Amino acid sequence: MQIDLTGRTALVTGGGTGIGAAIARALAAAGADVAVHYGHNAEGARAVARDVEAAGRRAVVVGGDLTDPAQADAVVLAAVEGLGGLDILVNNAGHLVGRATVGEMSDEHWAAVMGVNVSSTFFVCRAAVKHLEVSGRGRVILMSSLASENGGGAGSVAYAAAKAAVVGFGRGLAKELAGSQVTVNALAPGFIGDTPFHNTFTPTGAQAAIVSGIPLQRAGTVEDVAGTAVFLASDLASFITGQVVDINGGANFR
């Protein structure tokens, strides 16, 4: 059984690097045309777009600060106009921002974490809903985290809270959009190696310790996450909605 997304259009936020880039490439490999969004890394997004085109698909590159509702609206509109519609939304953009305990956390830090992870998700989904509802096979894939389940590492309480909020938002949205045959699910990656996130915020020694505690005894890869995203975007997942898919090598069991 092969997944075929030919004729479908997708927007991947934060698609210029890491997990987002892998998802954009995997969607294209499965046949989808892809709009690659970036917040800061324009060159990375252009490189991913070239890979999408090399796979024989159409690509659109669009930049914008998704914590600004007007820019989020513009990003979605650019994707829709560039590709002729929107069938698949992968709301991948998000960030730890930095590590801070509750006692030392500033109002600005809390607001920044919520903005880049929660508000941006809401703004993009709000702009995309009307396009997904007319698709007839709309898919929304949100990005949560293992941190939403286990509280995350030291100093990541705001991030854990934000990613838990994404899950709650997704379940509510799944109920709202079910009548239009739009499914909404979230991915919850655990430790995914060699990504900008962990290369920035997780010291090498800590990474080795994390891997030693994973039952499958390896770090996850961006391809592990991308493959799951492609499945959720496909017809094979048409009866799955309101769910969180853990991708953590057994590091946490529900």
The residues carrying an active-site annotation are 159
Q: How far apart are CA 80 and CA 12, in angstroms?
A: 12
Q: Helix, strand, coil shares of the chain as percentages rounded to 5? A: 50, 15, 35
Which string of b and e fits 10-23 if b means at least 16 CB within 10 Å? bbbbbbbbbbbbbb
Quick check: 164 and 188 in contact, CB under 8 A? Answer: no
The continuous run of DSSP H or E covering 11 comes out as strand 9-12
Quick check: 76 and 86 in contact, CB under 8 A? Answer: yes
**Residue 98, both tokens:** 């930095």
